[in-house]
Structure 1
Amino acid sequence: MDYTTTNGTAEKLRTQALIVGIYEDEGLSPSAQRIDKASEGYLSKLISQGDFSGKIERNLLLFALPGIKAERVMLMGCGEKNKFESKKLRHGWSTIIKVLEECGATDVVACLLELKPKHEDISQWARLMTETAEHASYYYDQTKSKKKALKYPLSQINFLLEQRTQQSAVARGIQWGQAIAKGVSLARDLANLPGNICTPTYLADTASKMAKEYKSLTVKILDREDMEKLGMGALLAVARGSQQSPKFICLEYKGTSSKQQPIVLIGKGITFDSGGISIKPAASMDEMKYDMSGGASVLGTIKACAELKLSLNVVALVPCTENLPDGNATKPGDIVTSLSGQTIEILNTDAEGRLILCDALTYSKHYHPKIVIDVATLTGACVIALGAHASGLLSNDQDLANSLLSTGQMSNDPVWQLPLWEDYQQQLKSNFADMANVGGREAGTITAACFLSRFAEDFSWAHLDIAGTAWNSGKDKGATGRPVPLLTQYLIQYAQAGVVPKNK
């Protein structure tokens, strides 16, 4: 879709559809008031008769209103005015987009910037509207024989400005939103593909194609032989049961010619996780194709950086393999030596994500990173603790954690911090190696991060557990693309300020 800004008054705009907000308690938004006046109280009558309440996520499509130039007027319920904020905008606007796609309007004007609370930034409001529109119109059909084809696809969204002086800020927000949306779509596409297509080699090929598409990107792919020479014993232990060759993706974004230390993003790339010898239950095992969502999200974030041409350096590291059982697979009780030289007793082969990530954390030292953030669908315990609303956050740097917490709220991609206390490290003790790869049932998300922290002592590091947020189950099954919005917003702020502002 194309996005632009427009000026004028709502009742005089010629468009196929005009979207205005209606509050549940205080009635009409400014543009809705203009439409109501021009149509001789049409909207007020609808509300007084109980035909439209203004409740959140409710909408009503009206045709040929008297005195109005627009062909259609779409009323968007906003709920209570003093409670209307960006999250509710996202829900309501997403519903509107889906209705517009079916009604035949291809060119629309949205009078929704005027709904912004005073404390919200207009650029962020425009970014969220753009990103949400793209997210709502996303459709996966790569592996379907019949492709979805709308007769009249929505192709142009115009944001009505309250003041002409807002134009540059809104245009900047649109640019951010489009870039984030492209990164999110890439992450969703990769994660939604089945494991027989999206193999470690497929992910590596995707990174290579990205490097050809953007001049700011360079790629290096490590094969099994390269990993053996380096001594990535933890990663290779996971790969032993698969016939697919493991890959280690190193995708660098160079946004500045200076010798600025890069931010390293590490994404878990388990393209299918059966649990290995510690095999998972059969129910919902198909969803383990999503176990590479961390890897998909960091590739999507790099794409967004390249689209925006951000002035900073970023490295994406994606260790990729399947985790399957066969006669050569790693067994519970086996001991391996990681790239760091530390030994690990593998008590549970289904705790494989931390094994590939620990070698990636050690490898990240090649880049002398300023900050390292790893992203992984790591623990079922995180789903139990936080559900599908917030990703888990653990860090050895509170300033970094504060920045991610703040950015999560701004991007509508929230995280919640869990403790990383020394007390939890005791659960990883082993009688036979430097550490065990699991710490028991209690505090599973925290002990997984404690394990990773032992490989991140030399730099500022944060761990994002996205097990509950990376995909939806049930009738809406599919990848979400999170946390691409969070990571990209973090990098935008970092590039703008040189250092991300701390949480107030």
Structure 2
Amino acid sequence: MYIFFRAFLTAMLLTISTTQNASDHPAPALTDVQFTDQWPADGHLILGVFQEQSPTWPNTEGSTEIRLALSHALKANDFTGEWLKTQVITAPAASGLKQILLVGMGHPDDPRKPIDWQNLGGHAIQTAVNHFSAAAPMSFDVANVPSPEQVVAHLALGAKLGGYYFDRYYTDDSRLKHIEQLTVVTDDPQATHAYYAQQLNPVADAIILTRNMSNEPANVIYPESFVDQWRQHFKGLKNIKIRVYDEKDMQKQGMGALYGVGKGSARPPRMMVVEYMAGGQDEAPVVVVGKGITFDTGGISLKNPPNMWNMKFDMSGAASSMGTLYALAARGAKVNAVAIAALAENMPGPNAQRPGDVVHSLSGKTIQIRSTDAEGRLVLADGMYYADSTYDPALLVDLATLTGSVGRALGKDYAGLFTRHDDLVQPFINAGLDSGDEVWQLPLNDNHFKAIENQVADVMNSGPDAPGASAGAAFIGAFVRDTTPWVHLDIAGVAWGDKASPTHSSPGATAYGIRLLNEYIITHFENSSE
């Protein structure tokens, strides 16, 4: 019976080729964040409260009465302002408001990083949406905190990310949660807006565009539509050049590893290369290569059906590679960078490659296919070799939802970091701690490279007697020169989630890697004194 079901499912996958136009369900516009020094006179309010301090309120008519009422409400509800604690209270009558969401800001002397303020802003807006069924203006009195304008801007960034909801396919308006506009009350709206618009909003927009891309179903996002949508996103940004390789280019160039994965699908593979060159003329670029399997059935090595639906997220690395470049270009970073998306749909079609086939990669190395479900490393083999040989990068990073084993090892807390270059490990760990996209180093040694050697071809893509995540990293590393500073990030456990965090609504794509790489590039390339 099970064999029959697998055969039936395969036949269905071969024959169903429904394509939906994304414009049938337009995505909501990117959330607009407004900064103002005018307090709201009606509706709801989010009000930040420090521990051991009284709530703030502007000096307006009735302000003394309002402050006294707020202080009484805090005592009556035993609300002390502890970090991330929340409480909804009835607003004082003199305020004209309906309800106020109190949000604890902790002790004012406690050290906070930007990511902490982002988490506070996201947590606040998510709590407001749950209580009020809508966003509310936010006010956090940080006048006595260092760099108050930057703190408020990071609160706004967190609120914009935390208030993201992928609800474009709901037909019942009562289920819609996306936020079209956020209002942040602050003493210096002009300076806050200037910092937010230049440094933070481009990153927020990049993350949201990337989440939208990854959350879309595979009948909307496939290699060609991925390229088309990112072309539109990059329009109007300076210093951008785009090149796309189609299936004919791949065959001509000898990209047999990438082409082999996509040739079983009615939707042909693509490789999208986006250059952003705004640094020094002779500076080697940072290159980010993303695994872009827009849907992964496993190919001939068919996956078990129950959780196959979430294989639409198997292109998350490619989406984040483009999102990273978008963030750099949109904020005008003085750096040279390249994003490469290696795109294919892995289907068990009549032209699909088989276990046991041998393919020729762009590098000239031959690969025996042991499992067609180990396809991500194949598309990356050609993408990484192209990146390394074309650009001689100052740093080469790949983002890939590569192995289930990394998720079992690290859960939803960390991406797995693999590298031959120990000097890169701690800087990436630090960038992860500062950005919220955390990493944990996993082993990569000579035994892992020996394990992928093959008796029929140069290497094999699956089946070695070695830990799965490390063997996958070794396979990718086999197509990168030893001298190239290279980091492999296995994001299979963190690319999407079904539980909410302060800056990620649930469920759906996280756009992991954009904040991490943005932080790393700021520190080690834009602000480097080397």
Match of 1:180 in 2: 203
Is the Cα contact below 8 Å between 2:417 and 2:441 reproduced in 1? yes
Quote the Cα distance in structure 2 between the aligned partners of 1:306 and 1:20: 34
Alignment map for 1:350-369 (pairs within 5 Å): 350-364=373-387, 365-369=389-393
Across the two proteins, how many residue pairs are aligned to each other? Answer: 489
Quote the Cα distance in structure 1 between the aligned partners of 2:175 and 2:260: 45
Quote the Cα distance in structure 2 between the aligned partners of 1:495 and 1:115: 32
Is the Cα contact below 8 Å between 1:383 and 1:467 reproduced in 2? yes
Backbone CA RMSD of aligned residues = 3.5
Quote the Cα distance in structure 2 between the aligned partners of 1:89 and 1:303: 23
Quote the Cα distance in structure 2 between the aligned partners of 1:267 and 1:152: 28
Match of 1:138 in 2: 164
Is the Cα contact below 8 Å between 2:123 and 2:159 reproduced in 1? no
SS at match of 1:432: coil
Is residue 2:372 matched to residue 1:349? yes
Q: Structure 1: which amino acid aligns with 2:160?
A: E
1:245-288: per-residue Cα shift (whole Å, max 9, x none)?
11110111122462322111101110000111221111111100
SS at match of 2:413: coil
SS at match of 1:245: coil
1:128-170: per-residue Cα shift (whole Å, max 9, x none)?
3232211122232444445679899673433535xx7x97578
Match of 2:317 in 1: 294
Is residue 2:482 matched to residue 1:465? no
Quote the Cα distance in structure 1 between the aligned partners of 2:252 and 2:431: 39
Q: Structure 1: any 5+ residue segments left out of the alignment? A: none
Match of 1:416 in 2: 440
1:65-121: per-residue Cα shift (whole Å, max 9, x none)?
2676877543103467758765554444323213445748877342154696x7xx7
Tell me the TM-score normalised to structure 2 length. 0.81
Quote the Cα distance in structure 1 between the aligned partners of 2:178 and 2:365: 59
Quote the Cα distance in structure 1 between the aligned partners of 2:260 and 2:411: 30
Match of 2:329 in 1: 306
Q: Which moved more, 1:416-425 or 1:376-385?
A: 416-425
Distance of aligned partners of 1:474 and 1:122 in 2 relative to their CA distance in 1, 3 Å threshold: closer
Match of 1:61 in 2: 88
Alignment map for 1:269-418 (pairs within 5 Å): 269-364=292-387, 365-418=389-442
Q: Structure 2: which amino acid aligns with 1:45?
A: H
Q: Give the CA deviation at 1:372.
A: 1.0
Q: Which moved more, 1:472-481 or 1:264-273?
A: 472-481
Distance of aligned partners of 1:197 and 1:168 in 2 relative to their CA distance in 1, 3 Å threshold: same
Match of 1:491 in 2: 521
Match of 2:476 in 1: 452
Match of 1:96 in 2: 124
Q: Which moved more, 1:206-215 or 1:298-307?
A: 206-215
SS at match of 2:121: helix
Q: Which moved more, 1:377-386 or 1:47-56?
A: 47-56
Distance of aligned partners of 1:190 and 1:493 in 2 relative to their CA distance in 1, 3 Å threshold: same
Is residue 2:112 matched to residue 1:110? no
Q: Give the CA deviation at 1:407.
A: 1.4
Indicate which of 202, 206, 210 corresponds to 2:229. 206
Q: Which moved more, 1:49-58 or 1:26-35?
A: 26-35
SS at match of 2:352: coil
Is the Cα contact below 8 Å between 1:379 and 1:465 reproduced in 2? yes
Tell me the TM-score normalised to structure 1 length. 0.85
Q: Structure 2: which amino acid aligns with 1:302?
A: L
1:34-75: per-residue Cα shift (whole Å, max 9, x none)?
999764644443344345354554423344426768775431
Distance of aligned partners of 1:2 and 1:326 in 2 relative to their CA distance in 1, 3 Å threshold: closer
Distance of aligned partners of 1:140 and 1:18 in 2 relative to their CA distance in 1, 3 Å threshold: closer
SS at match of 2:184: strand
Quote the Cα distance in structure 1 between the aligned partners of 2:156 and 2:321: 21
Alignment map for 1:2-21 (pairs within 5 Å): 2-3=32-33, 19-21=46-48
Q: Structure 2: which amino acid aligns with 1:259?
A: D
Match of 1:431 in 2: 455
Indicate which of 492, 499, 509 corresponds to 1:479. 509
SS at match of 1:268: strand
Quote the Cα distance in structure 1 between the aligned partners of 2:451 and 2:279: 43
Q: Structure 2: any 5+ residue segments left out of the alignment? A: 1-30, 501-505
Indicate which of 245, 248, 272 corresponds to 1:225. 248
Q: Structure 1: which amino acid aligns with 2:472?
A: A
Quote the Cα distance in structure 1 between the aligned partners of 2:168 and 2:177: 20
1:482-502: per-residue Cα shift (whole Å, max 9, x none)?
1211122223334532469xx
Distance of aligned partners of 1:37 and 1:243 in 2 relative to their CA distance in 1, 3 Å threshold: same
Is the Cα contact below 8 Å between 1:267 and 1:319 reproduced in 2? yes
Q: Which moved more, 1:128-137 or 1:48-57?
A: 48-57
Q: Structure 2: which amino acid aligns with 1:477?
A: P
Match of 1:236 in 2: 259
Q: Give the CA deviation at 1:468.
A: 1.0
SS at match of 1:493: helix
Quote the Cα distance in structure 1 between the aligned partners of 2:178 and 2:309: 35
Distance of aligned partners of 1:439 and 1:167 in 2 relative to their CA distance in 1, 3 Å threshold: farther
Q: Which moved more, 1:448-457 or 1:353-362?
A: 448-457
SS at match of 2:371: coil
Q: Structure 2: which amino acid aligns with 1:419?
A: P
Distance of aligned partners of 1:373 and 1:438 in 2 relative to their CA distance in 1, 3 Å threshold: same
Q: State the identity as a percent.
A: 32
Q: Structure 1: which amino acid aligns with 2:294?
A: T
Quote the Cα distance in structure 1 between the aligned partners of 2:343 and 2:176: 36
Q: Which moved more, 1:316-325 or 1:339-348?
A: 339-348
Q: Structure 2: which amino acid aligns with 1:291?
A: D
Distance of aligned partners of 1:240 and 1:409 in 2 relative to their CA distance in 1, 3 Å threshold: same
Is the Cα contact below 8 Å between 1:310 and 1:495 reproduced in 2? no
Is the Cα contact below 8 Å between 1:222 and 1:247 reproduced in 2? yes
Q: Give the CA deviation at 1:236.
A: 1.6
Q: Structure 1: which amino acid aligns with 2:302?
A: I
Q: Which moved more, 1:146-155 or 1:90-99?
A: 146-155
Quote the Cα distance in structure 1 between the aligned partners of 2:48 and 2:155: 14
Match of 1:195 in 2: 218
